[in-house]
Structure 1
Amino acid sequence: MVYISDKIKSSDTSISYVPTPLDLPISSTNTTSENQSNIINNQEEDEEENFIKNNYIARTLLNEPELPPITWLNWYKEVNWPQATLLCLEPLVALYGLFTTSFMWQTIIFTIIWYFLTGFGITAGYHRLFSHRSYEAKLPLRYFLLILGAGSVQGSAQWWSRGHRAHHRYTDTDLDPYSAHKGIFYSHIGWLLFKPRRKPGLVDISDLTNDKCIQWQHRNYISLAFFMAFVFPTLVCGLGWNDYRGGYFFAGVLRLVFVHHSTFCVNSLAHYLGDAPYDDRRTPRDHFFTALVTLGEGYHNFHHEFPSDYRNALKWFQYDPTKYLIEFFKLIKLANNLKEFPKNEIRKGRYTMAHKELNRFGQTIIWPKDNLNLPIITFEEYQELTKKNDNRLLILIAGFIHDVSHFIDSHPGGRTIIKSYIGKDATVAFYGGIHDHNTAAHNILAMMRVAICKYGGEVEYIKKRLGHIQTPTPIFA
């Protein structure tokens, strides 16, 4: 598919789109060189002012300075101590439990189940339902997911969704609360350990503040989180098979460590590992391993391009258990209006990236000279040039004159055929009269072009007389 702009860019004319200045006498403008400079400076200042005025990100970054950088001298003042204490004590407590508590198979099974359930509270609840509204859920399901989400101890759904919406709107900027541009440690957990350098960007959360379910969880979050994270699993294991200790250390604390870092990988690993099949302008990436450790949230490039799609993975072999869970909710009439972006628009994203990759590959290839850089000579002049004893062997094919001096010994059909057409028009022979050459032959031949034959040479006459329809060369010069 070739467009006019592509043709312009492919020509060797170096069009810069900068207009030629008007040739007006200086006196007619009544401005000196100094005045002209002042006018240009004023225009630039006005443009910069308008840009800042109309660009929320630029205006915010300019007018709302961030906190001073964290150094070895002030780090303890910048630590978010409540969150840092929780996140740092978790693995230590879990390790203590691993070395001091015996394993019971019932507890291990429940720990895995409870990991998935509280994890789905984040992926299916906080993320796809409340942050992106990728589907609609009945009231019982909304409360169920909010309660499970509280058990993951990642803040209320309102706080979590507000930050995540800012992440999507301001991806990779300083208004992104966990920007990947600040390093993998920062985007994974550093943004939680330390006070944010600036407030997250502005987002609309009116739907969250008007949602009675979310507000109920927001008001009761502390008690819900404590009960669902630690008390509930301890009671289940204790009352079920008398393993209170295992319920607390394994189903409670150890499970929480895995849930936390599983979610954190969406902010860190999913922005570093993998490829970008839909858009490479930002950091989100698709990778199976990330999907494996995040309950299906690892196809992050797709998700950032189509955030309100209830799916993260499209193909059957891609791991996305959250997608299947949402489909199960629909099956049992607890969910509806599962949103999918149009297939045509998704294909456009893949096409755009494939086209970019093809263009990058094309830049590594040496192409024939552009037609505009080739001299135009008559058929008679071409014949005269072939008679000169300068060791140059010229042959005419499809209106182009080619120098085959360095190729004749490598010609698969031998020297004799080429020599018999030196100084002649070999178009018919090349296009099937003797051999219908393949694409590689057309490409190699195009590299040997040295001139254009005016009016195409004898081939025009032969074509009309024999009724031969000339096949165009596959090379796009």
Structure 2
Amino acid sequence: MYKFSSACLRQWATVFALRKHFTSHFTGFVRSAKLTMRTWDGTKALLPRVRWFNLTVLTVTPAIWLYGACTTTLRGSTLIWSIVYYAITMLGITAGYHRLWSHRSYKASRALQYLLILMGSSAVQGYTDTPLDPYNAKRGLLYSHIGWMLVKPTTKPGYSDISDLQKDWVVQWQHRWYFIVAALMGYVLPAVVAGLGWNDWWGGLYYAGMMRMTIAHHSTFCINSVAHYLGESHYDDRKTARDHFLSGKLRSATHHASCYHNFHHQFPMDYRNATKWYQYDPTKWFIAACAAVGLASNLHVFPDGEIRKSELSMVLKALKKVQDSIRWPAKAEELPVVSWDTYQEQAKKRALVVVSGFVHDVTDFVDQHPGGKHVLLKRVGKDATAAFCGGAYDHGNAAHNLLAMMRVGVLLGGIEHVKTITPGERLRIVKVLE
């Protein structure tokens, strides 16, 4: 199991803490498996950096589970207990080590603190997407998922102030008695509950213990990996954290309700990861419930207006991409300026009409005009502004936008006084701030 220590709470996470000797350097990273394993020399250089204890834990635990799966039948009661205990474990991480101790997003009573510290095992926090980040998502999916925990670092990790954790009596109590607490909560309790409850001691150990532990490990790891690869950035796309329903389900009742992982990276001090009460965030509901019964207080909420600004900026950025993919009408300064006489002369050769100071070539549209081509033809060579803008028919936005695409010139003495902007251009995004 992994040793939980106050010195690692803000930096990184696994489900069960490692020995203090290992966690004091728990920032292991490799550029990628491909880069380090290309040659035999690279392999030899990698081997001394392997964290064998971590590797052992992450292989032995699932191996014992698989052995149990082959030798012990999974009973329905044990499966339910495994699921319940998984949720309890992960709430300890999310509501406890992460949102309480790592981000101080709320205050908890002493009783709730003890409960959370027994429920959880480790915390997740680092310097995202930089060389100082112990699980930098930009170094690859495999690296950010598990590779950073298996190899000793080649760079010094970023600084994180944990002085408050070093003074926290509950955290230090857990640190002093970790091995006893870890053994009881990780191995003994799941087996005892299944054993005394329905006489399934081995099933409790294999499934509620090892299976739950393995799934909890990789569910947590998915936040460092999958939640940075799948989904969309609804609040800030400068970081790799994404919002995705699937990644949230992969870590049900866990770390960030990770379908809103991008929200967490933008507003880490908020006790929520989803602003609406109905949005999937079990940890938010748990903390709110604790507050309702007096076990939690001072629930931090980021100002709604600031959240909406971040959300709006990303909406506008997405709309800007759509806008740039659309063909827009020619601007007045891009068109030739023609006199009234020239306009009328040209109108004898093709169907030209003037609307709001612009000369439009409607030749290809005559037969498609909803009101019949005769309505359009009798306006050729004339100023049809009054008729088009309500005199004959009050045309809608689509008609105005379509007509603008037929611009071929500017009438001398006309457009200088009539500043026409099509409905499609009135809310046009001119610039997106980066």
Q: TM-score, normalised by structure 1?
A: 0.75
- Structure 1 portions without partners, runs of 5+: 1-65, 155-159, 461-469
Alignment check: 8 A CA contact 1:394 1:423 kept: yes
Identity %: 49
Alignment check: 8 A CA contact 2:62 2:211 kept: yes
Structure-2 separation of matches of 1:85 and 1:432? 79
Specify the SS of the correspondent of 1:218.
helix
1:443 counterpart letter in structure 2:
N
User: What is the match of residue 259 of structure 1?
Assistant: 216
Alignment check: 8 A CA contact 2:137 2:143 kept: yes
Alignment check: 8 A CA contact 1:118 1:149 kept: yes
Residues 73 and 410 (structure 1), Cα distance of their counterparts in 2 relative to 1, 3 Å cut: same
User: What is the match of residue 235 of structure 1?
Assistant: 192
What are the residue-to-residue correspondences of 1:58-73 with 2, within 5 Å? 70-71=36-37, 72-73=43-44
Structure-2 separation of matches of 1:405 and 1:471? 22
Residues 433 and 471 (structure 1), Cα distance of their counterparts in 2 relative to 1, 3 Å cut: farther
User: What is the match of residue 48 of structure 1?
Assistant: none
Are 1:94 and 2:65 matched, yes or no?
yes
Alignment check: 8 A CA contact 1:431 1:471 kept: no
Displacement of 1:423 after TM fit?
Answer: 2.0
User: What is the match of residue 434 of structure 1?
Assistant: 392
1:255-301 alpha-carbon deviations (Å, 9 max, x no partner): 11111111111111111122222222221111222212212233101
Specify the SS of the correspondent of 1:413.
coil
User: What is the match of residue 10 of structure 2?
Assistant: none
User: What is the match of residue 147 of structure 1?
Assistant: 118
Residues 136 and 84 (structure 1), Cα distance of their counterparts in 2 relative to 1, 3 Å cut: same
User: What is the match of residue 81 of structure 2?
Assistant: 110
Are 1:348 and 2:309 matched, yes or no?
yes
Displacement of 1:329 after TM fit?
Answer: 0.7
User: What is the match of residue 12 of structure 2?
Assistant: none
Are 1:321 and 2:279 matched, yes or no?
no
Residues 439 and 365 (structure 1), Cα distance of their counterparts in 2 relative to 1, 3 Å cut: same
Are 1:412 and 2:370 matched, yes or no?
yes
What are the residue-to-residue correspondences of 1:248-287 with 2, within 5 Å? 248-287=205-244
User: What is the match of residue 216 of structure 1?
Assistant: 173
Alignment check: 8 A CA contact 1:165 1:203 kept: no
Residues 237 and 415 (structure 1), Cα distance of their counterparts in 2 relative to 1, 3 Å cut: closer
1:385-431 alpha-carbon deviations (Å, 9 max, x no partner): 435xxx23321111111122332233222332222222211111111
1:439-462 alpha-carbon deviations (Å, 9 max, x no partner): 2211121112122223328x99xx
2:215 counterpart letter in structure 1:
F
1:276 counterpart letter in structure 2:
S
Displacement of 1:202 after TM fit?
Answer: 1.6
Alignment check: 8 A CA contact 1:278 1:353 kept: yes
1:233-261 alpha-carbon deviations (Å, 9 max, x no partner): 22333344443322222222111111111
Structure-1 separation of matches of 2:347 and 2:295? 83
Are 1:456 and 2:414 matched, yes or no?
yes
Specify the SS of the correspondent of 1:112.
helix
Displacement of 1:226 after TM fit?
Answer: 2.2
Deviates more, 1:342-351 or 1:122-131: 342-351
Deviates more, 1:108-117 or 1:136-145: 108-117
Structure-2 separation of matches of 1:269 and 1:475? 38
Specify the SS of the correspondent of 2:413.
helix
Alignment check: 8 A CA contact 1:266 1:298 kept: no
Residues 431 and 83 (structure 1), Cα distance of their counterparts in 2 relative to 1, 3 Å cut: same
Alignment check: 8 A CA contact 1:123 1:297 kept: no
Specify the SS of the correspondent of 1:406.
helix
Residues 427 and 79 (structure 1), Cα distance of their counterparts in 2 relative to 1, 3 Å cut: same
Displacement of 1:381 after TM fit?
Answer: 4.2
Structure-2 separation of matches of 1:270 and 1:198? 24
Displacement of 1:312 after TM fit?
Answer: 1.6
Displacement of 1:321 after TM fit?
Answer: 1.4
User: What is the match of residue 421 of structure 1?
Assistant: 379
Structure-2 separation of matches of 1:199 and 1:287? 32
Q: Cα RMSD between the aligned structures?
A: 2.5
Answer 1 or 2: higher relative contact order, Cα 8 Å, separation at least 6. Answer: 2
Residues 102 and 376 (structure 1), Cα distance of their counterparts in 2 relative to 1, 3 Å cut: closer
Structure-2 separation of matches of 1:320 and 1:448? 51
User: What is the match of residue 85 of structure 1?
Assistant: 56
Structure-2 separation of matches of 1:281 and 1:98? 44
User: What is the match of residue 9 of structure 1?
Assistant: none
User: What is the match of residue 20 of structure 1?
Assistant: none
User: What is the match of residue 125 of structure 1?
Assistant: 96
Specify the SS of the correspondent of 2:425.
coil
User: What is the match of residue 246 of structure 2?
Assistant: 289
Residues 92 and 362 (structure 1), Cα distance of their counterparts in 2 relative to 1, 3 Å cut: same
Specify the SS of the correspondent of 1:345.
helix
The count of residues paired between Structure 1 and Structure 2 equals 386
Alignment check: 8 A CA contact 2:243 2:258 kept: no
Residues 386 and 254 (structure 1), Cα distance of their counterparts in 2 relative to 1, 3 Å cut: closer
Match of 1:368 among 308, 313, 329: 329
Specify the SS of the correspondent of 1:450.
strand
Residues 79 and 149 (structure 1), Cα distance of their counterparts in 2 relative to 1, 3 Å cut: same
Q: TM-score, normalised by structure 2?
A: 0.82
Specify the SS of the correspondent of 2:258.
coil
Residues 230 and 438 (structure 1), Cα distance of their counterparts in 2 relative to 1, 3 Å cut: same
Alignment check: 8 A CA contact 1:80 1:192 kept: yes
Are 1:134 and 2:110 matched, yes or no?
no
Residues 210 and 409 (structure 1), Cα distance of their counterparts in 2 relative to 1, 3 Å cut: same
Alignment check: 8 A CA contact 2:30 2:148 kept: no
Are 1:247 and 2:208 matched, yes or no?
no
Alignment check: 8 A CA contact 1:288 1:318 kept: no
1:333-390 alpha-carbon deviations (Å, 9 max, x no partner): 0001111222222222221121111111111111111111123344344334435xxx
Structure-1 separation of matches of 2:168 and 2:375? 83
Are 1:397 and 2:355 matched, yes or no?
yes
User: What is the match of residue 36 of structure 1?
Assistant: none
1:70 counterpart letter in structure 2:
T
Are 1:188 and 2:149 matched, yes or no?
no
